[in-house]
Structures are given as structure tokens and as C-alpha cells.
């Protein structure tokens, strides 16, 4: 059997497998989401109760005939599967998968728990006898199977060079980006254009955010504070600049400095990235807070009364520098390591000294990394919630205002959506500017075989300057983490420094009970939940990331530019906006995810 014949046979088998998965999911798995039962607990009831029944039983016995469209689509696709590979088979597969997908998605968004989701449908078609809840395992797997069949059909029609795997992967990833990025963000931002009565009103956005609290500039003319939008933008700019500079310095020292410093630098620089931002904020509070060591020393030495001077813009900026510099370091380290030594050697051969070579050859080649590091630092800053809420004090930013608008006493979804729109615009503007600045410029330094030259050492003056900045910063990092660690071993920080283990006992106590080991500590549930969600999310995120990277780097297809932009756009949207968007978009059918562990795995 030839290679092409084997490829056709594998594709034919894969298509049959997806058809089988779709049929099994529709006939034998619970169709709707089960809030109080696991899938295993619900399996015995797939042919019975309305809560646990499969899609086929729901359509036949429980008043949901619209679900038959899934079976119709699978039957049409199965009819095409029996044909020879070619355009005719592609049309059957595409039509069948399209009918199933469109029918399920339309009915899912149009029909809610109480019937029609829109009043005009109720008036046009009459009241429904039964509604429906969010999709469950059966519906999700059926939709996935239909997506894969659609990809196979598109490939058979001649797109994606006829590669069934590439076509299916692109359509699957595109559907995920549409579902978990485009849909929730657009749905949330649309809420900004509806007034309190639920009527569409363009001016509703400005009514909510066109005020002194959002855009005020009183701090410029001597007032107490500026608007929350300007606070966010200013903080993001100085954080991005600071993290980019520090990350670049540490990367240069790690790659072009002494080899003895390489491992310690890597460990210290990456320490903040493996710990939550709250840990950094806690360490800084123990150092500079009102009861912190610094204020106590100042009071003891000079009689200066402790104040809350650290809480505010400076405290948030310092905490964000700690939290996001490691990300800039990781970006810049790869860029520095990828610079071709031959270009530096060529400049030195033409009698340029190391300082001239660095600023005319090395530094320009760092521009893509600098721009990317700045973009990442900017987006991380505007999306950061932990540091502003811990050390922000009276300094408000958009992320905290969005949070309080949606979960606070005011519960104003319209204001949260309007503020999220500002945050999104800020992120997209920087994203577009970065793409425009680098989009038409080539920075390639190596082609063909890799260069085995020796990288140029840093100029002496620059090396001393970098050492003078980075070593104190890294030492400061160690101090912050030591204080954050030590805070758990004293009675009350700032008042009673008696060593104790009671905090750990309260959090992680274990006892023997009547039925065995009892996890009596207050923190065990949180720890187990965190580990469980991380263990589930990590391989899924890694797998999808590798798949998207492979599609962009190793394949070519029409629309690849738009696909890449969509993938990068998922990063450009701040996490705070996505969080609010998920709350607003995924609390009603067909995707009811709010309040479940699935919400924490979408990033």
C-alpha cells in the first residue's frame, strides 16, 4: 500500500471514529449538565429521567424534539463517509456536520430553562412545553464530533491541501477561540450599550463612565487623585517599562555575564513567577506596611510615626515589578541567546569596540523581544487584580473597579461592561501598535546552519551598571520572600514576634478520627482543589498551545493570518475582562459554567 493510500485509509478510519463518537454521545451519554451528580452516577439514568437522559431520550420522551437535528446531521455525514474520498464526500460531510452544528447551537441559544430565550420567539412560535439547561458531556462530545466531521468535509473539498488533520485542528481551535474569547467578550461588552431598563441605548456607555471617577485629571492640578482609567494606563506604562528594562538586564547578565552567576540568576529571577502575586504583596506589606519592619525601624531610630505611605500607586508598581519581571526575563533570555555572534564579530573585525558593537548591532537585534516584553508587561499590569487589591489602598484601577461593580453592593453589570471596554481598548491599542512597529521589519540573524561563534562579552561599563542594578534587585527579592516566609512563624507581625507553628496547625492540621485520618485544617480543601484544577488544566493548555503553535509554524493555509491574530488576541484580552465576560456569558444555557471548576480552566 502506497503512502497516499495509507493516509487516505487513516483519514477514513478517523472520520468513522468521529461518527461513532457522535452517535454514542447522542444515544448513551447524559445530554445536559448535571450540577449535583457525576457522569458515572448519571449513566444508569440515560434512558430514564429528564435530568440524566441522553439526547435521543430527551428528544423522544421529554419534549425536546429539536435535538433530533444532531442525529440528522450525523446520518447525513455517515452517508457521505461510505463514498469515495473526494468533493462529493466532502459536500456530504460538510452539509451533515453543518446542519447538526447550526441546529444545536441555534436551539441552544434560542431555548433556555423556561422556554424561548427571546420574547419575540415566544410570540411568533408560541410557548414551549419544556425548556432546557446547559449542555453536558453528551452534548459537548457530540459538538466536538460534528466539528471534526466539518473539518474532514472541508479538507475533502480541497481546502487545507486536503489534509483532514490540519483542517479539523484549525476548525476545532478556531471554535474554541470563538467560544471562550470572542463570544463572552462581545456578549459582555454589548451589555455596556443597554440601560437599566434593558433597552438598547448608545449613550448608556458614556452615562456610566463619562465622569470624574473614570477620566478625572485632578491629580495633575493638585487634586487628590486622577480617574481610574488614567491610573490604569499610567501604571501599566511604567510597569511595562520597568519590567522590560529589568528583565533585559537580567537576561544579558545570565547569557553574557559570568557563568557562575547563570544558575543563581535563573533561580532568583524565576522565583516570583512560580508564586502567586499575593505572596509578593504579603512580603512587601511585612516590610513596608504600617506594622512593617521598615516603619518600626524608622520609628525607633528617628521617632517617625508609622503611616500607610506604602499603600497606593508606588506599592502596586513595586509589587508588579516583582511579579512580572520574570516574564520579561524569560522572553528576553531567548532573544539574547538567539543573536548571531557572527554579526558582532563582523562589527569588531571592522574595528568597532564592544560598546559600539553592543549599541549598533546587539541592541537593535533585541527590538522584537523588547517590544514583546513591553506588550506582555503592559497587559499583565492592566489585568492584574491581586496586587492592587492587596497594596493598592485608595489607588483604584480598572481591574478592581470592574470586580466591585460586578460583585459589590452596587451590582452594576452595565458599569462593569463599560469599564471592561476601556480595559480592552487599552490592551488592543498597545497590541496593534506593537504589531505595526514590528510587522514590516525583519530581524532574522541566522539562516541555514546555526552559528558556532562565541557571543561577545558585555562592555565593561555596561556590565558594571547592570550588576549595580540587578544584584541589589535580586537581593531585595530574596529579602521579600524571606519576610513572607517568616511571617507564618510568629504570633502577630509587628506586635508579637514570639515563634509559633499555630498558623500552620490551623491551616494543615491532621487528626485520627473514628473512621481514619481527618484533614482537619482549614486550608486542605483549598489546597486539594488548587492541585486538582492545576493538574487538569496544565496538560490541556499545553496541548492546545502546542497544537496552535504547530499549525502556525509548520503548516500553510488560507486565513492563517487571521487565525494567528485570533490566537494572539486571546492573549491581548486582559484576564479581568475575560473573567467578567465568563460570568455574564456562561451563566445561562447553552453553556452554564459559572460556579463550576470548568471556569478556572478556560485560560
Can you give the pLDDT at residue 139?
A: 93
pLDDT above 90 for 441: no
| Range of lowest pLDDT (64-73, 242-251, 412-421, 526-535) | 412-421
| Range of lowest pLDDT (145-159, 173-187, 585-599) | 585-599
CB 89 within 8 A of CB 24: no
Quickly state the pLDDT bin for 597 (edges 50, 70, 90). Answer: low
Mean pLDDT of 419-423: 84
pLDDT above 90 for 96: yes
Can you give the pLDDT at residue 409?
A: 58
Mean pLDDT of 328-344: 86
Q: Which residues contact 265 (CB under 8 A, 6 or more apart)?
A: 250, 253, 254, 257, 470, 474
Q: Report the alpha-carbon distance of residue 76 to residue 71 in Å, rounded.
A: 9
Task: Give tens-digit pLDDT for 566-581.
Answer: 887 777 676 777 777 8
Can you give the pLDDT at residue 410?
A: 63
Quickly state the pLDDT bin for 121 (edges 50, 70, 90). Answer: confident
pLDDT above 70 for 332: yes
Mean pLDDT of 286-300: 84
| Range of lowest pLDDT (291-305, 317-331, 579-593) | 579-593
Go through 449-461 and write b for each residue having 16 or more CB atoms within 10 A of its CB, e for each that does not: eebeeebbebbee
pLDDT above 60 for 5: yes
Q: Report the alpha-carbon distance of residue 338 to residue 444 in Å, rounded.
A: 10
Can you give the pLDDT at residue 449?
A: 42
Tell me if the bond preceding 283 is cis, omega within 30° of 0.
no
Task: Give tens-digit pLDDT for 218-264.
Answer: 777 766 778 888 999 999 999 999 999 999 999 998 888 777 777 77
Task: Give tens-digit pLDDT for 40-66.
Answer: 777 888 888 788 899 999 999 888 999
| Range of lowest pLDDT (12-21, 50-59, 76-85, 347-356) | 347-356
Can you give the pLDDT at residue 326?
A: 87
- All structural domains of the chain: 228-395+462-499 (1.10.3720.10)
Q: Share the mean pLDDT of the chain.
A: 83
Instruction: Give the residue ranges of DSSP H helices in 43-163.
Output: 55-61, 68-81, 87-110, 119-125, 137-156
Quickly state the pLDDT bin for 446 (edges 50, 70, 90). Answer: very low
Mean pLDDT of 315-332: 89
Can you give the pLDDT at residue 450?
A: 43
Q: Which carries the bigger pLDDT value, residue 536 or residue 197? A: 536
Can you give the pLDDT at residue 82?
A: 87
Candidate ranges 148-162, 359-373, 495-509; pick with highest mean pLDDT: 148-162
Q: Report the alpha-carbon distance of residue 176 to residue 184 in Å, rounded.
A: 12
Mean pLDDT of 416-433: 83
CB 463 within 8 A of CB 257: yes
Amino acid at each position: 500500500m502506497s503512502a497516499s493510500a495509507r493516509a487516505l485509509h487513516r483519514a477514513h478510519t478517523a472520520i468513522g471514529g468521529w461518527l461513532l463518537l457522535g452517535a454514542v454521545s447522542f444515544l448513551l451519554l447524559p445530554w445536559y449538565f448535571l450540577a449535583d451528580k457525576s457522569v458515572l452516577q448519571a449513566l444508569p439514568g440515560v434512558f430514564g429521567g429528564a435530568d440524566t437522559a441522553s439526547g435521543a431520550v430527551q428528544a423522544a420522551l421529554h419534549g425536546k424534539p429539536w435535538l433530533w437535528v444532531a442525529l440528522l446531521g450525523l446520518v447525513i455525514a455517515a452517508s457521505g463517509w461510505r463514498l469515495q474520498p473526494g468533493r462529493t464526500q466532502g459536500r456530504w460531510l460538510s452539509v451533515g456536520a453543518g446542519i447538526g452544528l447550526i441546529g444545536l447551537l441555534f436551539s441552544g441559544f434560542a431555548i433556555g430553562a423556561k422556554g424561548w430565550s427571546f420574547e419575540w420567539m415566544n410570540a411568533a412560535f408560541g410557548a414551549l412545553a419544556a425548556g432546557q439547561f446547559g449542555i453536558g458531556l453528551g452534548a459537548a462530545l457530540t459538538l466536538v464530533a460534528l466539528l471534526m466531521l466539518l473539518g474532514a468535509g472541508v479538507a475533502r473539498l480541497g481546502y487545507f491541501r486536503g489534509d483532514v488533520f490540519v483542517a479539523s485542528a484549525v476548525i476545532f481551535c478556531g471554535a474554541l477561540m470563538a467560544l471562550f474569547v470572542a463570544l463572552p467578550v462581545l456578549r459582555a461588552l454589548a451589555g455596556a450599550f443597554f440601560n437599566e431598563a434593558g433597552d438598547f441605548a448608545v449613550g448608556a456607555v458614556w452615562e456610566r463612565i463619562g465622569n470624574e471617577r473614570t477620566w478625572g485629571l485632578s491629580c495633575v492640578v493638585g487634586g487628590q487623585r486622577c480617574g481610574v482609567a488614567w491610573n490604569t494606563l499610567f501604571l501599566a506604562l511604567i510597569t511595562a517599562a520597568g519590567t522590560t528594562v529589568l528583565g533585559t538586564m537580567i537576561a544579558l547578565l545570565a547569557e553574557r555575564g559570568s557563568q557562575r552567576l547563570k544558575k543563581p540568576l535563573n533561580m532568583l529571577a524565576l522565583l516570583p513567577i512560580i508564586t502567586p502575586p499575593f505572596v509578593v504583596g504579603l512580603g512587601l506589606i511585612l516590610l513596608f506596611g504600617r506594622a512593617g519592619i521598615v516603619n518600626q525601624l524608622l520609628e525607633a531610630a528617628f521617632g517617625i510615626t508609622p503611616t500607610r505611605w506604602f499603600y497606593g500607586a508606588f506599592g502596586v508598581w513595586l509589587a508588579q515589578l516583582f511579579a512580572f519581571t520574570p516574564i520579561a526575563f524569560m522572553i528576553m533570555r531567548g532573544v539574547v541567546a538567539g543573536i548571531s555572534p557572527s554579526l558582532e564579530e563582523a562589527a569588531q573585525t571592522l574595528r568597532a569596540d564592544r560598546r559600539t558593537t553592543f549599541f549598533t548591532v546587539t541592541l537593535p537585534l533585541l527590538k522584537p523581544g523588547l517590544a514583546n516584553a513591553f506588550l506582555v508587561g503592559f497587559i499583565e499590569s492592566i489585568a492584574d487584580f491581586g496586587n492592587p487589591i492587596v497594596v493598592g489602598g485608595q489607588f483604584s484601577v480598572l481591574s478592581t473597579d470592574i470586580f466591585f461593580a460586578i460583585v459589590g453592593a452596587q451590582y452594576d453589570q452595565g458599569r462593569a461592561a463599560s469599564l471592561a471596554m476601556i480595559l480592552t481598548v487599552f490592551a488592543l491599542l498597545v497590541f496593534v501598535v506593537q504589531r505595526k512597529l514590528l510587522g514590516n521589519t525583519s530581524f532574522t540573524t541566522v539562516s541555514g546552519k546555526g552559528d558556532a561563534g562565541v557571543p561577545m562579552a558585555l562592555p565593561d561599563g555596561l556590565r558594571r551598571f547592570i550588576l549595580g542594578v540587578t544584584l541589589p534587585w535580586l537581593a531585595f527579592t530574596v529579602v521579600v520572600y524571606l519576610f513572607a516566609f517568616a511571617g507564618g512563624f510568629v504570633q502577630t507581625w509587628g506586635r508579637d514576634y514570639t515563634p509559633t507553628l499555630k498558623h500552620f496547625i490551623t491551616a494543615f492540621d491532621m487528626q485520627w478520627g473514628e473512621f481514619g485520618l481527618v484533614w482537619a485544617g482549614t486550608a486542605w480543601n483549598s489546597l486539594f482543589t488548587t492541585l486538582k484544577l492545576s493538574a487538569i488544566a496544565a496538560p490541556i493548555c499545553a496541548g492546545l498551545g502546542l497544537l496552535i503553535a504547530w499549525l502556525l509554524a509548520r503548516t500553510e493555509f488560507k486565513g492563517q493570518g487571521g487565525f494567528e491574530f485570533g490566537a494572539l488576541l486571546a492573549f491581548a484580552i486582559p484576564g479581568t475582562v475575560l473573567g467578567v465576560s465568563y460570568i455574564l456569558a456562561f451563566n445561562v444555557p447553552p453553556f452554564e459554567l459559572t460556579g463550576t471548576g470548568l471556569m478556572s480552566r478556560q485560560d
